[in-house]
A = this chain, B = another copy of it.
Amino acid sequence: MSAAGDWVSVFAPATIANVGPGFDCFGISLGEPGDIVRARVVAEPGVKITAIRGDGGALPYEAERNTAGQAALAILAGEGEWAARHGLELEIEKGLPAGSGLGSSAASAVCGAVAAMLAVGHATGSVYNRDRVLFAAVDGEAVASGAWHADNVAPALFGGFTIVQSLDPLNVVRLEPLLPCRVAVVTPDFVVETKRAREALPKSVSMRDAVANCANAASLVAALLTANGPLLRAALADRLAEPHRAKLIPGFAEAKRAAIAAGAYGCSIGGSGPTLFALAPDEDDAERAGEAIVATFARHGLTSRLLVCEISPLGARRI
B-binding residues in A (CB < 8 A): 21-26, 163-166, 171, 173, 175, 201-207, 209-222, 225-226, 228, 231, 234-235, 240
* Residues on B with beta carbons closer than 8 Å to the beta carbon of A218: 22, 25-26, 163, 217-218, 220-221
Q: Which of chain B's residues has its CB closest to A238's CB?
A: B214
* Residues on B with beta carbons closer than 8 Å to the beta carbon of A175: 222, 226
* Residues on B with beta carbons closer than 8 Å to the beta carbon of A235: 165
**CB atoms of A213 and B210 under 8 A apart:** yes
- Interface centre among A211, A215, A218, A220, by most B CB within 10 Å? A218
What's the Cα separation between A228 and B221 when bound, in Å? 14
Contact with A209, one of B202, B210, B221 (Cβ below 8 angstroms)? B210
Interchain nearest-CB distance for A228 vs B (Å)? 7
Interchain nearest-CB distance for A49 vs B (Å)? 33
**CB atoms of B173 and A214 under 8 A apart:** no
Complex A-B, nearest 8 residue pairs according to Cβ-Cβ distance, in ascending order? A210-B210, A25-B215, A165-B219, A214-B217, A217-B218, A225-B225, A218-B221, A221-B221
Interchain nearest-CB distance for A27 vs B (Å)? 12
